[in-house]
Chain A
Amino acid sequence: MIDFVARSFRTGPRCFAMPQIHVEYFAILREHAGKSSEDLDTPAVTAAALFKELEKRYGFPEMGGMKVAINDEFGEMETRLADGDAVVFIPPVAGG
């Protein structure tokens, strides 16, 4: 509830501010970022642009096949991000 109020308060007067995105990190990306999650004010319009920004900041190793989830569902890297979105970048998986 407190978080909800705080978020509403933040989003209210933020009309022209950059969108705030919640990012969660797993596995190799978590290790490179040195954290499991963070809230970011970002100029990135798409998930792909946000990934580029994070790649630069944290020096993620080069990997093909990066996927993305937005609000706990698979999305496209070209998806436009909206204020309050929760984003998870998904490096190549290795279950089983």
Chain B
Amino acid sequence: MSHFEFASVDVDLADCRESLQDSRCGGYAAFEGWVRDLNEGQRVLRLEYEAYEALGVKEGERIVAEAIERYGVVAARCVHRLGELQLGDLAVWVGVSSPHRDEAFAACRYIIDEVKHRVPIWKKEHYVDGDSGWVNCERCAEHAD
């Protein structure tokens, strides 16, 4: 089972959860990232995710392996959607199972935080007013002011 994958279709959450079940585990923590209707004050209509998949999978695998090592959890996985998504759609899922809850929460948090910073994924938002933009790329200059 791969620890990190990209999906171009809806993620089967029941399947994801089941893949982490283990009789050694008394806890399972999961994080779901959803498409939100507002970003930086602009009304979002839909968005697109694009990834450099060859490097993205490698880096994602490294992040999940780090979380397992660092927090001693039994199993962890992350799935990130690519392509066009609508409001409310699941964009990313992280799941962790471990004997106790503290490690599961911590590892889950570590994975989503690191994925956001390190995995080469880009998000293009399409706004209600007809504008669109690549998040963190096209308004950097404005942010710097």
Binds A, one of B8-16, B21-29, B48-56: B48-56
CA of A95 to CA of B121, assembled, Å: 5
Whether A91 contacts B134 by the Cβ 8 Å rule is yes
Binds B, one of A9-17, A41-49, A66-74: A66-74
Whether A93 contacts B134 by the Cβ 8 Å rule is no
Tell me the nearest residue of chain A to B121, going by C-beta: A95
Whether A90 contacts B52 by the Cβ 8 Å rule is yes
Decide yes or no: A63 and B137 within 8 Å by CB, A88-B52, A88-B55, A93-B117 being known contacts. Answer: yes
Tell me how many residues of A have a C-beta within 8 Å of chain B: 22
Taking CB atoms, residues of chain B closer than 8 Å to A61 are 137-138, 141
CB < 8 Å neighbour of A28 from B52, B112, B137, B141:
B137
Q: Is B135 at the interface (CB under 8 A from chain A)?
A: yes
Q: Helix, strand, loop or mixed for chain A's interface?
A: loop
Taking CB atoms, residues of chain A closer than 8 Å to B141 are 61-62
Whether A93 contacts B121 by the Cβ 8 Å rule is yes
Taking CB atoms, residues of chain B closer than 8 Å to A96 are 33, 80, 91-92, 112, 115-116, 121
> How far, in Å, is B41 (CB) from chain A's closest CB?
17
Whether A95 contacts B55 by the Cβ 8 Å rule is no
Q: Is B74 at the interface (CB under 8 A from chain A)?
A: no
CB < 8 Å neighbour of A92 from B33, B55, B137:
B137
Q: Is A64 at the interface (CB under 8 A from chain B)?
A: yes
CB < 8 Å neighbour of B134 from A28, A90, A95:
A28
21 A-B residue contacts at CB 8 Å? Answer: A28-B122, A28-B134, A28-B137, A28-B138, A30-B50, A61-B141, A65-B140, A69-B120, A72-B58, A73-B55, A91-B134, A91-B136, A92-B137, A93-B117, A93-B119, A94-B121, A94-B136, A94-B137, A95-B80, A95-B92, A95-B116
